[in-house]
Amino acid sequence: METKWLSKDELAAWVRLYAVIELLPNVLDSQLRRDADLTSFEYYVLAMLSEAPDRTLRMTALAAQTSATLPRLSHVVKRLEARDLVRRFPCPEDGRATNAALTESGWEKVQQTAPGHVANVRQHVIDALTPEQLGQLRGIADALLEQLDLDAAMAALYRRHDATA
């Protein structure tokens, strides 16, 4: 099979996307570490719990929503438990499963952290784009997600903010 090399325009688009993929996580992580003593993944875990009913999810559901392996998620939740931001307990519906719940301290941490995180996202992503570009970004992301999220494991996460008809 012959390689279909990228054209000059395709390569220019790809290397820019790659640069964004590399730079953006560090920008988000730096602000969260500085202002909230959290990694961006730790904040993401807290945010997912904050949006769940009763601020509680099964660990397997939380892993799916954060696209994390259970071992990675367990390690992070253990750190958050040590800080009294999350607690784990057996799932009442299925004793074999474990739930993670946001503690009151965890809820306060999310409320304190969210404004700075949103300001950072706005500064480095949203405000850098025109409304037309923002719509294009969403369309581009949807096209990429169709190729990347084949089993729609994260679809509930990114589709829940879609406007309803």
pLDDT tens-digit readout, 63-74: 988 989 999 999
Does the structure show a pLDDT above 50 at 150? yes
Whether 152 is covered by a domain: the verdict is no
Structural contact between residues 70 and 60, judged by C-beta atoms closer than 8 angstroms: yes
Question: d(Cα 12, Cα 121) in Å, to the nearest integer?
Answer: 24
C-alpha count within 13 angstroms, C-beta hemisphere, residue 162: 11
Q: Quote the mean pLDDT of the chain.
A: 94
Residues of the chain above pLDDT 70, percent = 98
Range of the domain at 74: 24-128
Structural contact between residues 109 and 85, judged by C-beta atoms closer than 8 angstroms: yes
Whether 119 is covered by a domain: the verdict is yes
- Model pLDDT, residue 68: 92
Whether 140 is covered by a domain: the verdict is no
Whether 6 is covered by a domain: the verdict is no
Whether 62 is covered by a domain: the verdict is yes
Number of domains in the chain: 1
Q: What is the CA radius of gyration of the chain?
A: 18
Question: d(Cα 163, Cα 165) in Å, to the nearest integer?
Answer: 7
| pTM of structure | 0.88
Does the structure show a pLDDT above 60 at 110? yes
Q: What are the beta bridge partners of residue 57? A: 100
C-alpha triplet 53, 45, 55: angle, nearest 5°: 20
Domain CATH number, residue 103: 1.10.10.10
**Cα 64 vs. chain centroid, distance in angstroms?**
11
Whether 84 is covered by a domain: the verdict is yes
- Model pLDDT, residue 151: 86
- Model pLDDT, residue 164: 55
